[in-house]
Structures are given as structure tokens and as C-alpha cells.
Amino acid sequence: MLNQCPNGYSFGQNRQKGSVLLVSLIMLLLLTLIAVGGMQGTILQERMTGNLRDRDLAFQAAEAALREAEELVRDDPDSGDYAENDDGFYEVNDDNRPEWFSRSDIENGNGFITYGGNFPGVAAQPRYFIERLGIEEPPLDASDPVPLPSYFRITALGTGGADNTQVVLATVYKVR
């Protein structure tokens, strides 16, 4: 027989028999699943941030190569033998120029110019090539011909911290 309190409650034998333990384990399992999901999201965001940093590094390397090439062309526009495909200098759309716009396979062609400085943190130093664009000559009957500006297309390839992170930039540069 069970003992009874004056207010009608009984004490003695507990009728719950481990239901608190079962509820606690289910709550612990739910908290564990939430924590694992949060960690996976954090790891994914960390990878995305690393890839973005690597791409940004490749972009900066390509930009540095473009600036160096623009300075080279500005200081001495006739520095290369464009007709002979000599060391990264080409006539426009020459078949032997490097093929860097193909996403599947980058071919270096006959030659390119490697960035003169030391760009830190990259897998390979940036490189570029220069193409001289065709210019129309002034008419022969011009009384006082004005010298035409020279135009050059500069294409640069920058590599990030990993070999497979590459950015290709191109610009048209006008020399007066």
C-alpha cells in the first residue's frame, strides 16, 4: 500500500521509469546535429573565403604584369621585334601567340615576358605578351601629316597561391 499525503498526493514508487533520460538523450542528439550543421557551414565559408583570396591574389598579379607591360610600351614602343614573334612581342592575332583565354588548357605559344619583380605568395610569377595593333597610314596627299598614335593589346596571366587559380586580363594601350 502506498503512503498518502494529506493533500492527496502519493509518494513512494515512481511511475516514470526513465522517461527523463530518454527526453534528455533526444535533446542532446538534436543539439549535436545543430552543432555539426553549424560547423559544416563554417568550414564551407572558410573554403569560399580562401578561394576568393586566392583569386584576388591572381588578379593582383595579372594587374601588376599589365602595369609593367604598359610601362615597357610607353617607354620604348619599338622595344620588340613584333614581326618575328620575339620574346613575347607579336603582331595582332598572330597564330603563334600564347593562348590564355582557353579555360581548359593554357598554352604558352612562342614566348611571353615574365614579370620583372617578385610577386610574393603566388605559385608562378605573372607573365604577359604584347601585340601591336594595325594602324592606318595617313593619306599621301596630306600637306602636314600628324603622327598617329600606336596601339598595343597587352594580355597578362596571373596565378594565385595555387597553380589552378589563374586570371587573364587584357587591355589596349595607346602610345602617343
CA dihedral 116, 99, 162, 113 (to 10 degrees): -10
4 and 10 Cβ atoms separated by less than 8 Å = yes
pLDDT, one tens digit per residue, over 116-144 is: 889 999 999 999 998 888 665 665 666 66
Rounded to two decimals, the pTM is 0.69
Average pLDDT, the chain: 81
Which DSSP state fits 107? B
Domain ranges of the chain: 17-175
pLDDT at residue number 93: 79
pLDDT, one tens digit per residue, over 150-163 is: 889 999 999 999 98
pLDDT at residue number 65: 95
pLDDT, one tens digit per residue, over 13-45 is: 555 567 888 889 999 999 999 999 889 988 998
Query: CB under 8 Å to 121, separation ≥6 — which residues?
Result: 57, 161
Which DSSP state fits 17? T
